[in-house]
Amino acid sequence: GTGNIVIRNNNADVETIPVGDARVSIASDSIVTINPANDLPNAGSISVVIAANTFRDLAGNNYAGNAAAPWRFRTRDTEPPVL
């Protein structure tokens, strides 16, 4: 496929990765690894948006994208408190 994977923190773009980039690997028809250039931010509110047609399965079907419902998760706060 063609398209981009956008990683956001608090709705601000952190990184845009083209699907053909070396930071995206496809191990099988169902396992995709995305390796951003930088670590995700501490205590972040992360979302991952994948454009339509970014991936294509073995049958030739294009991925519909997830812009309407991005993957969302939070990263841990690993910074020690300042006293």
**pTM score of the predicted model:** 0.84
Two tokens at 6?
């956008």
Number of neighbouring beta carbons within 10 Å of residue 51:
19
Helices vs. strands in the chain: H and E counts, helices first: 0, 6
Residues comprising the chain, all counted: 83
Could you read off the pLDDT of 33-74 as tens digits, one per residue?
999 999 999 999 999 999 999 998 888 899 999 999 999 999
